[in-house]
Chains A and B, each alone.
Chain A
Amino acid sequence: MGRTLAEKVWDQHVVRHGEGQEPDLLYIDLHLVHEVTSPQAFDGLRMAGRPVRRPDLTVATEDHNVPTIDIDKPIADETSATQVSTLRRNVEEFGVRLYPMGDLNQGIVHMIGPELGLTQPGTTVVCGDSHTSTHGAFGALAFGIGTSEVEHVLATQTLPLRPFKTMAIEIDGALRPGVTSKDVILAVIAQIGTGGGAGYVLEYRGEAVRAMSMEARMTMCNMSIEAGGRAGMIAPDETTFDYLHDRPHAPQGAEWETALDAWRQLRTDDDAEFDTVVHIDASTLTPFVTWGTNPGQGVPLGDEVPDPEQIADEDKAASARKALAYMDLTPGTKLRDIAVDTVFLGSCTNARIEDLRAAADVMRGNHVADSVRMLVVPGSMKVKAQAEQEGLDAVFTEAGAEWRSAGCSMCLGMNPDQLEPGQRCASTSNRNFEGRQGKGGRTHLVSPLVAAATAVRGTLSSPEDLTPSVLTIA
């Protein structure tokens, strides 16, 4: 019988088949490292007297803790500064390449892998960060790991892994203008739930996926973890190869041709069977936003805040009641009537050049509402430079938004960019958990287009709501 894409990549990386209950040992092609989940791993190596087995397959950057303004000054927060300086000491001692704050290649760890051409089809990619699933957009088997596993990979370049099941997410039909891959993935999570993908590698397939850019595909794979998936994958195609061609670490010359031959084999065989298949009709989707405190609690922007009393499943109803209390929302309120005071355009989900272009198209000639603060945080310094070359920074600043340097920023409350208690934010990031963007902060997950329109109107909005109507092709 045929094999799925995920199974093919798995098979190519088995160092050793486990005996009995022992899991298979898989080789890891690329290990991305950042300052938060690595210090205890390097400590472990030091205590055991172990080296990093393959520094040439390991790369580090600084992202979670870094401020996104005044980056030429020392980090003010002492503990953040310690974490960053600890990483610098560790990479120096163990011989790992680092792209530090201020470097032209610095950025969120899931931005720089693809940008540098390190993320390639058919590779295994890990990082001590759950959004490692992003790299699956290239047909890589990529997943987040904990610190013990970070140490394991540093020491052995392998991981013992339990087998996974496979789930096909078939996204048929074409997306309408103004509907993005962010809306698709939020709709997928609302459909299958935050635990629906548990134990599975998700493969996104179908006409809508084939039509997506690499940026859009990365957004979708990025949030696979929000559906509980171990990883998300998309079979590589010409779009993938075009993106990779001539990137600094992509194969060059004859190697490029060899690589292409290998990469073209990386697709699910016609006679392969998935353990589960989920269908989504792309042509029916509209912009999607979350109202609750987990990413599965989302509805189309045109809907109302749901009533927990109408939810049959008692567990889900209880979860909804708790979420609405935290979010300070009343059932029946139109989503479009919800006013926000902050808009965050950033994160490893939606801070690529295409996201900034789409938002800038909406902002051009418009102004951020008086009641709103908008942060625009490019995911990497490369994206920042590109955006500035295209004049996007001026579009944002002239509209009254803040233009910043690269980092995880307001996606998580670890650096100076945080919500105050009670503040409400339309955010292009990936998690609307309680306190995720700062203690007491309230998050609505949205696409870059919705973020931009919301910034202008001050209430959750799509570009269609603007006068004159702005409709960009996603």
Chain B
Amino acid sequence: MEKFSTHTGIGTPLRVSNVDTDQIIPAVYLKRVSRTGFEDGLFASWRADPSFILNVEPFDRGSVLVAGSDFGTGSSREHAVWALMDYGFRVVISSRFGEIFKGNSSKAGLLAATVEHSDVELLWKKIESRPGMELTVDLGAKTITAEDLVVRFEVDDYTRWRLMEGLDDIGLTLRHADDIDAYETTRPSHKPTTV
């Protein structure tokens, strides 16, 4: 995973709440067996509308998505994270995220930054006042800067550390293989097996 410390890019306002992962990428786009190439599916239904924000210059070149509350609810499809990243987003900002989406983001290297909803409103106003405005997201300081506006965001410290170090979760866990071996000797014999 690529290390993440700070990121600067165009802010794209998505003034919609309850954006479920079926909207981020409809099921019909999940049939790929590779890990890349999902950008076509990103918001596929909404992109059919010419006025949708990703069809509007310069927001179509955004890399920081500022969304309404409850972003990424519903299906566990990590493809939603891949589609956002394949399109070019590195950060999504919302006041609340779907739990599985947030977990998936942290694994794939997309920063899901949680801010107060009032701050989402401020960011929307700011980036709409001057389309193309770049936001700077500083993971170390946990701040988002849009010109003179500075907003704090929340991300759990473990996720922050992993993103900043670009660490692979499986590699981290396998350092504790002895603990897993030890645990397995204690499992009750009535636990099921699939064979």
Q: Which A residues lie at the B interface, using CB under 8 A?
A: 15-16, 18, 20-23, 25, 27, 29-30, 36-37, 39-40, 43, 48, 50, 53, 55-59, 64-65, 77, 79-80, 82-83, 86, 97, 117-118, 120, 123, 128-130, 132, 143-149, 151-152, 155-158, 160, 162, 194-195, 198-199, 225-226, 228, 230, 249-251, 255-256, 258-259, 262, 294, 315, 318-319, 322, 412-414, 431, 433-436, 439
Contact = CB atoms under 8 A, between A and B. Distances in A.
Contact of B77 (A146, A228, A259): A146
A15 B194 contact: no
Contacts of A322: 16
A59 B99 contact: no
Given A50-B170, A198-B70, A315-B68, 17 more contacts: A30-B194, A37-B78, A43-B33, A43-B35, A53-B180, A120-B192, A129-B75, A145-B76, A145-B103, A147-B78, A149-B107, A160-B173, A258-B189, A262-B188, A412-B22, A412-B75, A435-B26
Contacts of B63: none
Contact of A80 (B22, B31, B74): B31
A321 to B, nearest CB: 11
Contacts, number: 210
A151 to B, nearest CB: 7
A120 to B, nearest CB: 6
Nearest to A315: B17
A68 B183 CA distance: 42
Contact of B174 (A57, A65, A155): A155
A156 B170 contact: yes
A214 to B, nearest CB: 16
Nearest to A30: B192
Contact of B33 (A23, A40, A143): A40
A56 B158 contact: no
Interface of B: 16-18, 20, 22-23, 26-28, 30-35, 45, 68-70, 73-79, 81, 96-100, 103-104, 107-108, 117, 156-158, 161, 169-170, 172-174, 176-177, 179-180, 183-184, 187-195
A76 to B, nearest CB: 13
Contacts of B78: 37, 40, 128, 146-148
A145 B28 contact: no
Contact of A228 (B73, B179, B184, B190): B73
B192 to A, nearest CB: 5
Q: Give the interface centre of A18, A147, A259 by most chain B CB atoms within 10 Å.
A: A147
**Top 6 A-B pairs ranked by shortest CB distance?**
A148-B107, A146-B104, A146-B78, A79-B31, A39-B33, A21-B157
B165 to A, nearest CB: 13
A322 B19 CA distance: 12
B99 A25 contact: no
Nearest to A118: B192
A15 B176 CA distance: 9
26 contacts: A21-B156, A25-B179, A27-B183, A27-B184, A30-B192, A36-B31, A37-B76, A82-B31, A86-B33, A123-B191, A146-B77, A149-B104, A151-B170, A156-B170, A156-B177, A198-B99, A249-B192, A249-B193, A259-B190, A294-B73, A318-B17, A319-B18, A412-B22, A434-B23, A435-B23, A439-B45
B156 A56 contact: no
A37 B77 CA distance: 7
A41 to B, nearest CB: 9
